[in-house]
């Protein structure tokens, strides 16, 4: 054997031994690292129930805030908008990445390889803070955008909300109010009507009472609320806070949370605004005369509607399903007039139960007839259901002129009040409060 072959074998065996030694050291190093990691995991204390609760609340907050922002974008731009889908992908992607940080150690262990062994990986805490910071920045930008959306007066409105109510007070007699754009449509079907916007003069000194009308269109909990003012020698006048729908737009209670609809105030004849619900749409409508009110309270409530009309004409406002809808706006105004006689109650936000609330606080007479027989709430619902009374009413007869339409309006208002006792106004505040208190005690 030559000397060259001897040395070559010697060096090759040494190199192989060094390579095996280095691999052995590396494998022992990795095993040592895994052992250290497992030891640290064993030393980490298990989360307490308080920590679990905080984590759960944070997760719920993130999910609800993301859902709110996505719904706001969807209702403003539509589902088919590119911006809507980009925002959805970004927000869902960040939340998915946050969820993955819970399993960060598993992910980094799976991705660990020789090529990454010498690189420092981002820790779980750092990744979580970074993702929450990015999400928080996006959400705050979205919040600022949402509150920057302004309501408008100049859209393509549906005919029934196209005009805005306005008024003038007589210079010599402040009791005389001339209202412009009082709606007096002739409704043929739910969607078809002959338009009439009237001018009507009313005398505030002739106010004789208030009626609350509830129109149930989506089960027993949800109703649209209207207020009618009675006059001694004239037909009633109804007011209604509604969404100001654009052409082709439909109402969604969920969309009402996201600045989708402007708010409108409609003053109308009852044969228009009640007939369209009871007869044209087939909603279940109930009319409740309010008891134990003084004349100045009724007048103050009417003046509140005039103030609301001024405010909306000066600056449009948003409808909100929760805080500024057809029912609680009325309650806010009435509470200013009557104060603590109208206590706060959850039924203010469950509009279908508003009549029960009025009954419990003594605003519906517990014994409205002369025989003083008490009426339960069921009796009130039976007697005030106007659909059977309005059935068959001819809304088109005598509608060729303003005078004939006024007669038809008076006839409709009288017809829907059949068999409903109409209370007189209270003579004094003391008697009104005492009667309301005793009525509430009887009803309860």
CA 85 to the chain's CA centroid: 24
Q: For residue 78, report the phi and psi dihedrals to the nearest 5 degrees.
A: 90, 155
Looking at the DSSP assignment, which residues form a beta bridge with residue 244? 262
b/e 165-175 (16+ beta carbons within 10 angstroms → b): bebeeeeeeee
Q: For residue 210, report the phi and psi dihedrals to the nearest 5 degrees.
A: -130, 140
Cα 362 to Cα 188: distance, rounded to the nearest angstrom: 38
Query: Which distant-in-sequence residues (6+ apart) come within 8 Å of 208 by Cβ?
Result: 230, 231, 232, 298, 425
**CA angle at 420 for the pair 417 and 422, rounded to the nearest 5°:** 90
Q: What is the pLDDT along the chain (444 residues), one digit of tens a residue?
A: 554 554 355 445 544 544 445 454 445 554 555 555 555 455 556 778 787 788 788 888 889 999 999 999 999 998 889 999 999 999 999 888 887 776 545 445 544 554 444 444 566 668 778 888 889 899 999 999 999 999 999 999 999 999 999 999 999 999 999 999 999 999 988 888 889 999 999 999 999 999 999 999 988 899 999 999 999 989 999 999 999 999 989 899 999 999 999 999 999 999 999 999 999 999 999 999 999 899 999 999 999 999 999 999 999 999 999 999 999 999 999 888 877 788 899 999 999 999 999 999 988 987 787 777 888 899 999 999 999 999 988 887 655 666 678 888 999 999 999 999 999 888 877 766 666 676 666 666
Q: Indicate the pTM of the whole model.
A: 0.82
Question: How far apart, in Å, are the Cα atoms of 327 and each of 214, 224, 313?
Answer: 9, 7, 20
Total count of residues recorded for the chain: 444
The structure tokens 């805490």 sit at 125
The structure tokens 């009130």 sit at 380
Looking at the DSSP assignment, which residues form a beta bridge with residue 246? 157
Query: Which distant-in-sequence residues (6+ apart) come within 8 Å of 78 by Cβ?
Result: 84
* Burial classification of residue 210, based on how many CB atoms lie within 10 Å of its CB (0-12 exposed, 13-18 middle, 19 or more buried): buried
CA contacts within 13 A on the Cβ side of 25: 5
Question: How far apart, in Å, are the Cα atoms of 433 and each of 246, 292, 340, 341, 439?
Answer: 44, 7, 10, 8, 10
List the beta strands (DSSP E) in 184-259: 186-187, 193-194, 197-203, 207-216, 223-231, 234-244
Neighbours of 301 (CB within 10 A): 22
What Rg, from alpha-carbon coordinates, does the chain have? 35
Cα 292 to Cα 204: distance, rounded to the nearest angstrom: 19
Strands 262-268 and 234-244, bridge-based pairing: antiparallel
């Amino acid at each position: 054997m030559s000397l060259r072959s001897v040395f070559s074998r010697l060096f090759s065996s040494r190199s192989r031994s060094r390579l095996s030694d280095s691999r052995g050291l590396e494998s022992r190093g990795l095993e040592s690292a895994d052992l250290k990691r497992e030891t640290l995991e064993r030393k980490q204390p298990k989360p307490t129930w308080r920590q679990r609760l905080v984590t759960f609340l944070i997760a719920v907050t993130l999910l609800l805030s993301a859902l709110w922002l996505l719904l706001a974008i969807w209702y403003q731009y539509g589902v088919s908008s590119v911006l809507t889908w980009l925002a959805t992908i970004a927000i869902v992607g960040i939340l998915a990445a946050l969820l993955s940080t819970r399993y960060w150690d598993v992910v980094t262990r799976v991705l660990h390889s020789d090529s990454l062994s010498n690189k420092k990986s981002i820790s779980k805490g750092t990744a979580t803070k970074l993702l929450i910071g990015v999400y928080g920045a996006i959400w705050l930008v979205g919040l600022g955008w949402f509150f920057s959306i302004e309501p408008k007066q100049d859209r393509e409105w549906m005919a029934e909300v196209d005009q805005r109510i306005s008024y003038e007070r007589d210079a010599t007699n402040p009791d005389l109010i001339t209202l412009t754009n009082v709606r007096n449509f002739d409704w043929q079907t739910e969607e078809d009507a002959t338009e009439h916007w009237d001018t009507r003069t009313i005398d505030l000194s002739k106010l004789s009472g208030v009626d609350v009308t509830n129109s149930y269109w989506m089960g027993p909990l949800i109703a649209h609320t209207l207020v009618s003012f009675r006059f001694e020698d004239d037909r009633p006048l109804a007011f209604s806070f509604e969404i100001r729908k654009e052409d082709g737009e439909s109402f969604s209670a969920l969309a009402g949370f996201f600045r989708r609809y402007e708010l409108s105030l409609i003053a109308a004849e009852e044969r228009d605004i009640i007939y369209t619900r009871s007869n044209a749409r087939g909603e279940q409508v109930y009319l409740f005369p309010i008891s134990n009110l003084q004349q100045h309270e009724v007048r103050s409530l009417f003046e509140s509607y005039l103030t609301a009309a001024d405010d909306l004409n000066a600056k449009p406002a948003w409808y909100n399903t929760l805080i500024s809808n057809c029912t609680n706006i009325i309650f806010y105004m009435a509470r200013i007039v009557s104060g603590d006689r109208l206590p706060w109650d959850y039924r203010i936000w469950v509009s279908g139960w508003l009549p029960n609330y009025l009954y419990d606080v003594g605003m519906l007479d517990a014994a409205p007839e002369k025989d003083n027989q008490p009426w339960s709430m069921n009796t009130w619902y039976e007697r005030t259901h106007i659909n059977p009374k309005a059935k068959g009413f001819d809304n088109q007869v005598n509608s060729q002129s303003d005078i004939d339409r006024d007669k038809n309006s008076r006839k409709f208002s009288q017809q829907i009040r059949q068999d409903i006792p109409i209370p007189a106004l209270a003579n004094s505040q003391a008697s009104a409060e005492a009667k309301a208190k005793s009525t509430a005690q009887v009803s309860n």
